[in-house]
Structure 1
């Protein structure tokens, strides 16, 4: 397993990466003044731009949906990749060599070819294969595509190519382009055998498999010649440093934006099915690459669906209507808990897959197939019950037991009772009997049966817990001074400098702003920011609370209210005024305590508080003078 990337290398990549250039490849940005740029947010629909990028502080933030962060966060969110891959991708672009820690105190250089070279080799291979598709040797490949309704434009859109039957054509080409033997073998493009090196794909029609950013990372190759010595219908790129079949979805590069926009993903079974769906107007279609849909695939989709506890999107699986299709549906239902989104299944009555359906009935039939989706749960339930003879008493008992196990595993417990009534009606048993069996199934599986379950006397349900008080809006005018002061600290730490030394947590009354200040103080205070240009992103890295993290990115990109570069007077008007308000709160509290204290019975305590009050009043007046600009 690769070791952890060193923090200083991550910081160097972040510093060298131009976040405005990275974002500009996805979003049209325009100058917004104050060193900020803005455009339409790629993470939610909007008509007026609320998405801001501040290159000087390496941050982006959307004031509409509150997404924000640094260049790594942006790539992770928009391309659905992990943090390590985001760092590696930007390291390739910025020329930073990443060092990894194998253990405490141990540092090693990255072994093997860098990701950028492997991606470059695939890009060159894809162009080579696409060019070969137009040659005389690829006639059978072109006929295969034509018979399935795919013309040259479709082939160009999906980057389809042809691997020449000459077993060394690609290897020779890549060698001429300067790629080493280690690079082409590690990439999975060239194999090593007893007789030397050979092209992994020969005489096959090829689909480039791309990651979410559009980089080609592998290929799927279909058998089209009867004399192909390899009997397998499809061959895929083997596991490589950049290609993990359990984490790859074919078509995700084309579908990701439409998935995010429509909150819908359609999972089909093959490359031609993806093509057929997209060409028919179903732009959310993706497919696995030579493996069943699994947990890792679900995690990839979730990133684009923005699948979270409040979200209700759709994941639609298409399966053949045969036994294999039913088995695939059951397997998909087993992974249903990976999604908060609602899961559905779309099966064509005649058993046609989307590609064949488009050929026979046209584009509209493909769109209608998706529109006729039914809940995956209901499809699986009908298959479960259908295996039993409901005319027999023992058949009804067995069907009820298996259906109850299915119902008890449903994620949305608010629907369990309705499903129990549904299986009672379908099987022909009493509703109370169905409910009781569901409860027993839940108990056997260690899962709650839903509303009405018996719990321990000391068990407190979510509904019984007192609701947490709502957090005030960050833009509430009451907190405007706190917001502007934190912006000054983050934008101009050198200017704020020593004037903010006496600020502390008590100066911030909003819990989120207080948490922001706590992180600032923990990371060395304002003076640390003056000496470290990568300070702001590092602060956000240490924010574990999503609200604090979002606030940090928002404050980092939001312009200062001053029409000109903030000077000492502007800093004084905020920093010292904020401290004055804190002093006033302490004075109010002290006066209240004095009023409740008997000066005769508690003379010592009363005199101490009175002296403290006088000192506080003097301190408040001094702060007021400083805030007003008096020397």
Structure 2
């Protein structure tokens, strides 16, 4: 087993792996001022961006969920990698030659093949399949593509290939590349019966890639009549690197255009994605063998920059048949996942984008998307259209079914608008108030059970935690926060100025714990010239609250428009020390008031002398503060 990766190699990875570039593969980032970038957090649902990246300090932090760290930590969390896997992956991407300690040292690896090995196996498999598309055995595959308007250039653009009908062709090829059977089975490329055999045989192959462009699975289409597997499409089963509920085909090609245009087009198949992209609709993606769900929404929102401050468009394309209408209903049910406006693009003839491109050309595909209609209008029209609106009972039934649908939405602010839409669709004697009445009836929210009713004051008081930790952003702790930001972000500037600062100068327990970590690491000066200073502090924290605070302090801009200099730092340090002195003065004064000067003359005089010294120290600090301004 290889030895542990050397610390200098890890430091080189942290230095060369640009955090904004790595994070941008998963999240759309926009400038937030002060050298910071922000976007929607990939680790929790939010409607306003609170996820910040500071490239200058190679750090990220979410002010919503409190997660944060460096580039290695980000990759570990978002892709479920071990520390070693994340370092190796970044080293490979940024050309860092990893050096290791001598000896057989146990590494931080999970059981089973590493993610990097699975990714490498899929890359080799994709290249193998692509090469096989040019062979005589793949004639039917090439004819299939040609019949759908895709030439060789299109096949190369999307990495399409062919899996040989021979049952062990890929297995033998990858074994010759030094991949183990365990790795190939874990990655879903090979299955095992009496012996190992290729998972995909005699099929047209689409590589499914993640947002960073790594192949993580395949979609395989049936093209031979004698294929023993009847399913038209086979997709990679769930593996450590492939989760179908989180995968969108084409996201690697579409993500930049989605971010640029704030528009995403959801189509139903691989060929539809190809047809859209080749027609100029570069925002098209598709699910892989499963319905569009909440996890897919979260993936898209990160690239759409979909939040309360900025609204984009999500456009679904559905067939005009019953299955398409059912899919539209599902999409309507998940409509609240987006801040963006949701639309539907349906070709009246029922053709999907691929067929439309074959028949009418690229312009027709672009026109299809341009003719989109609001999703809610499409869904409600389908519901109302099932009834005979010339009959009074038909109108009532239409209103009741549409009202049940509206009652199910989570965003109650849209109910009145939807009710007005239904009223217009049904017409005749149905007004908005009648529709709203039906919506309320459909909602039919039951009265709360006795155990759900408002608790008595005593019960409420009991539920409040005793001695809660104050908010880190409480104005009382502003000076402590700013001083620690300087220590973490500008250790070279702050240098020896903090020599008199100690744990007692921080009244918030979390800030005090941060300072104690700084002191244990050698003090503020120890971070001078160390690009991994903030990471070193964060890694040393055992309390999640302290760890989160360090990442926040590392990315939040300091309160000055220019680069902090020694006088700016001194201003904060002297003010911090002055506040501590003032608290000490208040304590001594309180004790003096409680001490009898006759009965305890010695103690009284000692405290009086201490108070005089503290007052002089406070005046000196005030003068130094004024001098630093």
- C-alpha deviations, 1:225-271, integer Å up to 9, x for none? 22222222111112222112222111111112222232222111000
Question: Are the equivalent residues in 1 in contact too, given 2:315–2:343 (CA < 8 A)?
Answer: yes
The whole-number CA distance in structure 1 between the counterparts of 2:546 and 2:208 is 35
Aligned to 1:160: 160
Aligned to 1:501: 502
Question: Are the equivalent residues in 2 in contact too, given 1:424–1:431 (CA < 8 A)?
Answer: yes
Counterparts of 1:129-168 in structure 2 under 5 Å? 129-168=129-168
The whole-number CA distance in structure 2 between the counterparts of 1:541 and 1:373 is 51
Distance 1:550-1:342 versus aligned 2 partners, 3 A rule = farther
Counterparts of 1:21-420 in structure 2 under 5 Å? 21-23=16-18, 26=21, 43-44=29-30, 58-59=58-59, 69-72=69-72, 75=75, 82=78, 84-85=80-81, 90-93=86-89, 110-194=110-194, 196-420=195-419
TM-score scaled by length of structure 1: 0.73
Question: Are the equivalent residues in 1 in contact too, given 2:276–2:353 (CA < 8 A)?
Answer: yes
Aligned to 1:438: 439
Residue 250 of structure 1 aligns to a residue whose secondary structure is coil
Aligned to 2:599: none
User: What is the CA distance between 1:377 and its match in structure 2?
Assistant: 1.2
Question: Are the equivalent residues in 2 in contact too, given 1:206–1:222 (CA < 8 A)?
Answer: yes
The whole-number CA distance in structure 1 between the counterparts of 2:33 and 2:360 is 37
The whole-number CA distance in structure 1 between the counterparts of 2:67 and 2:112 is 35
Question: Are the equivalent residues in 1 in contact too, given 2:246–2:295 (CA < 8 A)?
Answer: yes
Residue 18 of structure 1 aligns to a residue whose secondary structure is helix
Counterparts of 1:504-519 in structure 2 under 5 Å? 504-505=505-506, 517=511
Question: Are the equivalent residues in 1 in contact too, given 2:480–2:506 (CA < 8 A)?
Answer: no
The whole-number CA distance in structure 1 between the counterparts of 2:626 and 2:141 is 80
Distance 1:24-1:611 versus aligned 2 partners, 3 A rule = closer
Question: Are the equivalent residues in 1 in contact too, given 2:18–2:55 (CA < 8 A)?
Answer: no
Distance 1:529-1:201 versus aligned 2 partners, 3 A rule = farther
Aligned to 2:556: 554
Aligned to 2:48: none
Q: Specify every segment of 5 or more residues in structure 2 that has no aligned partner in the other structure, as ranges.
A: 38-52, 92-97, 101-106, 457-471, 528-532, 591-604
The whole-number CA distance in structure 2 between the counterparts of 1:445 and 1:260 is 43
Which stretch has the larger CA shift, 131-140 or 113-122? Answer: 131-140
TM-score scaled by length of structure 2: 0.73
Which stretch has the larger CA shift, 225-234 or 524-533? Answer: 524-533
Aligned to 2:94: none
Question: Are the equivalent residues in 1 in contact too, given 2:209–2:249 (CA < 8 A)?
Answer: yes
Question: Are the equivalent residues in 1 in contact too, given 2:18–2:58 (CA < 8 A)?
Answer: no
The whole-number CA distance in structure 1 between the counterparts of 2:272 and 2:155 is 14
User: What is the CA distance between 1:383 and its match in structure 2?
Assistant: 0.8
- C-alpha deviations, 1:474-502, integer Å up to 9, x for none? 9xxxx899746631355428756643216
The whole-number CA distance in structure 1 between the counterparts of 2:75 and 2:369 is 30
User: What is the CA distance between 1:143 and its match in structure 2?
Assistant: 2.1
Aligned to 1:580: 578
Paired residues in the alignment total 548
The whole-number CA distance in structure 2 between the counterparts of 1:50 and 1:577 is 27
User: What is the CA distance between 1:135 and its match in structure 2?
Assistant: 2.1
Residue 249 of structure 1 aligns to a residue whose secondary structure is coil
Residue 342 of structure 2 aligns to a residue whose secondary structure is strand
